Amino acid sequence: MTVHRQPASVAALSEADLLARIFPRLAMAGAHSEATLLGPGDDAAVVAAPDGKTVISIDTQVQDQDFRLEWPNGYRTTGFDVGWKAAAQNLSDINAMGATATSLVVSLTLPPDTPVSWVEDLADGLTAGITGLGAARCSVAGGDLGRGREISVTVAVLGTLEGNAAVLRSGARPGDVLALAGTAGHAAAGLALLESTVNVDALGESERVFLDLQCRPRPPLAAGPAARAAGATAMLDISDGLLRDGLRLATASKATVDLDPARLQALAEVLRPASVLLGADPMAWVLGGGEDHGLLATFPAGVQLPPGFAAIGSVLALGSNESPSVMIAGRPADAGGWDHFAH
Amino acid sequence: MTVHRQPASVAALSEADLLARIFPRLAMAGAHSEATLLGPGDDAAVVAAPDGKTVISIDTQVQDQDFRLEWPNGYRTTGFDVGWKAAAQNLSDINAMGATATSLVVSLTLPPDTPVSWVEDLADGLTAGITGLGAARCSVAGGDLGRGREISVTVAVLGTLEGNAAVLRSGARPGDVLALAGTAGHAAAGLALLESTVNVDALGESERVFLDLQCRPRPPLAAGPAARAAGATAMLDISDGLLRDGLRLATASKATVDLDPARLQALAEVLRPASVLLGADPMAWVLGGGEDHGLLATFPAGVQLPPGFAAIGSVLALGSNESPSVMIAGRPADAGGWDHFAH
C-alpha cells in the first residue's frame, strides 16, 4: 500500500518542487495566450506587443497590511482570495489606461511555514481571477519565489493599447461628464464587516456579498477599453476612494470635480444591509472606500456613455486662485480614502 | 529663524510626500530614456517595444533573506546597496536573454520606522546601478509603495531583443564550448566575509572588493547581447551558482555540461585573499556561489568568443540512460548552490 502524504509547509519543498506544484495550476500560461511568446523556464519571458508599445504596472499585497490571514469576524483569508485579488488589482490598472492585459509575472514571498495547499490555492485564485474577470488574452508568463517573515505577493502586469493612445488622468476638461463604472464602497463595507465582531457565519447573503467583494474584487475589465473607444478624456481606477482618486484626476487635469449628491446617495443606498448591521455611515464607504477597483472617467458632454458607466458628476473649470478639488454640488468635500503612510 | 527638520521615518510622510522625495532621485525617468513613452503619474506606464515584443522578468529582495541591515562583521547594508542590487539582479535577467533593458517598475514595501534617508538612498542606488552598469537606455517607469514588517523590494524589468530571437537555456548542443562572462564566487566570498567575525573595518582592499560585489553586483551587461550576436546557442545568468545553474542549462538542453578543472582552479585562485583570511575553500565559492550574476553561455565550436567571455568547459552528449548533469573533467560534480527552500 502506497501512502501519499501532502507536505505540510513550503519549507519541506525545494524551490523547483514548489514551482512544479504551482505551474500546472497556472494552466493558461503559454497555452491559451496568443501574447506569451516565451513562458516560464528561462531567465525572462517574452510577450508580444504587436503595436510596438507595452503598458506596465506593478502592485504588491502584504499580509497584515492588505489582508489578514484571520479577521476579527472569524473569516480566514484563503490563498484563492489573495491570488484573485492580486490578479484583480493589477488587471484594473491596465483597464484604467483603456488597455487590455496580455501577461503577468508574479513574485511570491512566503514564510517557511506557509502550507503548500495555501500556495496551490493562491495559484488557483490567480488563474480564476484572470479568467473570471474576463482577461481572456492574459496569461502568467513567469515569476519568482523567495522566503520572508510575511506573505507578500507582487504582480507586474503588461497590457496592449492595440495601437490606440492611453487614457491619462490629465485630460479632463470643464464641461465633461464624470462617470463611474463598477461599484463604490462595496469593498469598504466588506472591510468593515471583516473588522467587526459580527461573526462571518452570521452574515446573510445581502451582507456577505460585500465581504466577498473585498476579498475578491471584480473590476469591470470591459469598461476601460470601451471608455477609451467612446472618447474618454481622463480615467483612473478607484483604488483609494472616490474623493482621493477624484482629487488625483482633478489635480492632473487642473480642474474641479463636482459630484452629484443624488447619485452618491443612490450608491450609498445599495450598502444599506451592511451599514444597518454595523450602525455605520454608508456615505463614508462610498466616498472613502477603495478596492472595488471601479473606473472613474470623464467624457465630453453629449457622448453616449459606454455600457457599464453611469454619470456621477461633472468637471468644472478652476476659478482664479482655486486649487483643484473635489466638490459635492459645489461645496468642498473632505478628502478621505486610504493613505498607506498617513492614516 | 527657520528650522528644517528631516522627517525621521517614512511613518511621518504621506505616500504622496514620500514619492515626491523619491522621484527626483530617479532622475532618468522619462528624461534620458527613449523607451519610456509614459512615466510615473498614471495607473500604468507605457514603454516602447519597437520590434513588437517585450522581454520581462521580476525579482524580489527581502530583508533578512537577501540582505541583513547589519551583518555579523559589522557592515550595515545601505539603501544604496539594496537599490543597486535590485537594479543589477533584474538587469542581469534581461542580459541573460541576449536583450537590452528598456524600463523597470519598482514595488517597495517599507516598515513604518524605515528612515526616509534610507529610502532616498535606495532610489539613488537604483539610479546609480542602472547608470553604472551601463543600462543607458533603461529608466524607471513607475512603481508602488506600501507598508510591511520587513523591507521588500521587487523590480520588474522590461527589455528589447531589437528584432532578434532570445537566447534560451535549451539550445546547447554536444560539442559546444561553454563560456563564462563576469566573475564567479566573488559575491559568495563577500557573503562569507559579511557573515564572519572579521570586522569590516579590518578588511584590506583585496578582501573588501568581494564584500562590495556581494552588496553591489556588477553583471556584465554588454556580454548578453554580444553573446546573442555571436551565435550563442544557450545562455543563463549565474544567480544560484555554477553547478546549479550549469545543471539548469544541461537539463533544458538535454546534455551534459563538463567543466575544465584548470579553469575552475584559476577562478578559485582569484579568491585567495578572502579564502586565506577565512580559512575557507575557494572552490566551494566558485562552484556554489551565485549573485555575481555572470553569464554562462554555450557557443558552437570554432566561434570566436565575444569580449568578456572565457571558455570554462564544453557540452557533451548524453549517454544512453544518462541524466543531464554537470561534470568536472568527466567526473560527477556535487550539486551545490543556493536553494530558497531546501538548504
Q: Residue A105 and residue B18: Cβ atoms within 8 Å? A: no
Q: Which CATH class is domain B13-160?
A: alpha beta
Nearest CA in chain B to A11: B341
Residues 27-66 of A with CB under 8 A from B: 37-38, 41-60, 62, 64-66
Could you give the ipTM of this predicted complex? 0.92
Given this model, what pLDDT does residue B235 score? Answer: 98
Q: How many CB pairs under 8 A join A and B?
A: 237
Residues of chain A with CATH 3.30.1330.10: 11-160
Asked: is A11-160 a CATH 3.50.50.60 domain? The reply is no
pLDDT band for position A19 (cuts 50, 70, 90):
confident
What does the mean pLDDT of chain A come to? 92
Residues of chain B with CATH 3.30.1330.10: 13-160
Task: Say how far apart CA A208 and CA B141 lie, in whole Å.
Answer: 39
Phi, psi torsion values for A231, nearest 5 degrees:
95, 25
Task: Write the pLDDT tens digit of every residue in A161-210.
Answer: 999 999 999 999 999 999 999 999 999 999 999 999 999 999 999 999 99
Task: Write the pLDDT tens digit of every residue in B286-321.
Answer: 999 989 999 999 999 999 999 999 999 999 999 889
Minimal Cβ distance to B65: which of A14, A147, A154: A147
Q: Please state which architecture CATH assigns to domain B169-332.
A: Alpha-Beta Complex (3.90)
Given this model, what pLDDT does residue B30 score? Answer: 46
Given this model, what pLDDT does residue B28 score? Answer: 58
Facing residues of A229 across strands? none
Residues of chain A with CATH 3.90.650.10: 177-332
**Per-residue pLDDT for A254 more than 50?**
yes
Given this model, what pLDDT does residue B2 score? Answer: 53
Q: Residue B62 and residue A147: Cβ atoms within 8 Å? A: yes
> Which chain A residues contact residue B96 at CB under 8 A?
42-44
**Per-residue pLDDT for A28 more than 80?**
no
Q: Residue A148 and residue B144: Cβ atoms within 8 Å? A: no
Q: Residue B46 and residue A56: Cβ atoms within 8 Å? A: yes
Q: Residue A143 and residue B58: Cβ atoms within 8 Å? A: yes
Closest Cα in chain A, distance from residue B276 (Å): 32
Task: Write the pLDDT tens digit of every residue in A201-245.
Answer: 999 999 999 999 999 999 999 999 999 999 999 999 999 999 999
Given this model, what pLDDT does residue A6 score? Answer: 61
Q: Residue B60 and residue A144: Cβ atoms within 8 Å? A: yes
**What number is the average pLDDT over the span A111-119?**
96
CA dihedral B295→B298→B303→B304, nearest 10 degrees, is 20
Regions of chain B where pLDDT drops below 70: 1-7, 27-33, 334-343
Given this model, what pLDDT does residue B201 score? Answer: 96
Q: Tell me, yes or no, if B97 comes closer than 8 A to chain A by beta carbon.
A: yes
Burial of A229 (0-12, 13-18, 19+ CB in 10 A): exposed
Q: What is the DSSP string of B114-143?
A: -BHHHHHHHHHHHHHHHHHTT-TT-EEEEE
> Which chain B residues contact residue A8 at CB under 8 A?
none
Given this model, what pLDDT does residue A16 score? Answer: 84
Q: Tell me, yes or no, if A302 comes closer than 8 A to chain B by beta carbon.
A: no
Given this model, what pLDDT does residue B8 score? Answer: 86
Dihedral sign for Cα atoms in the order B157, B162, B163, B168:
negative
> Which chain A residues contact residue B143 at CB under 8 A?
58
The CATH number of A177-332 is: 3.90.650.10
> Which chain A residues contact residue B109 at CB under 8 A?
60, 62, 152
Given this model, what pLDDT does residue B337 score? Answer: 39
Task: Write the pLDDT tens digit of every residue in B161-181.
Answer: 999 999 999 999 999 999 999
Alpha carbon of B16 to those of A94, A95, A248, B140: distances in Å?
21, 23, 11, 17
